[in-house]
């Protein structure tokens, strides 16, 4: 039993392959909210049609997302995660350069950043390649 066709695969080809793998194991699929049962020919057809529309919907979402990102870039908007605030970076570098530097994990917790960020700043401080 599954909730929705689009939760089972990303493409119609993948859904059909998944369904034939299930049938090879003598297992049938029942989609509860839509009452689609793949035992019947009508159920199989409906399963495939739902798969087509799920793939189409996913492609449309992707297309709109890419168009929105390119429009944002064209308007000069900064995309992605916000960068590290300069005062936070300076505080971490001071702590790394101190006489008795703390562990990367404790510095990350102290400044509210990831351990990877502290590692990166440490490498930059020591002129190591990223």
pLDDT digits (tens, 9 = 90+) for 14-67: 888 988 898 899 988 888 777 888 888 998 898 889 889 989 999 999 999 999
Full-model pTM: 0.58
Q: Are 17 and 10 in contact (CB under 8 A)?
A: no
Q: For residue 105, name the pLDDT band (cuts at 50, 70, 90).
A: very high
- With 0-12 / 13-18 / 19 or more C-beta atoms within 10 angstroms meaning exposed / middle / buried, residue 92 is buried
Q: Are 28 and 18 in contact (CB under 8 A)?
A: no
User: Whose structure tokens read 């510095």?
Assistant: 107
How high is the pLDDT of residue 32?
76
């Amino acid at each position: 039993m599954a909730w929705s066709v689009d939760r089972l695969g990303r493409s119609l080809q993948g859904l059909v392959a998944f369904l034939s793998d299930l049938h090879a194991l003598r297992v049938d699929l029942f989609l509860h909210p839509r009452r689609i049962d793949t035992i019947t020919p009508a159920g199989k057809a409906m399963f495939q049609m739902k798969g087509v529309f799920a793939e189409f919907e996913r492609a449309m979402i992707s297309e709109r997302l890419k168009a929105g990102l390119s429009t944002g870039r064209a308007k000069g908007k900064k995309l992605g995660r916000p960068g590290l605030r300069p005062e936070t970076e300076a505080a971490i570098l001071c702590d790394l350069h101190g006489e008795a530097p703390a562990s990367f994990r404790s510095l990350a917790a102290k400044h509210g950043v990831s351990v990877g960020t502290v590692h990166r700043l440490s490498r930059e401080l020591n002129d190591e390649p990223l």
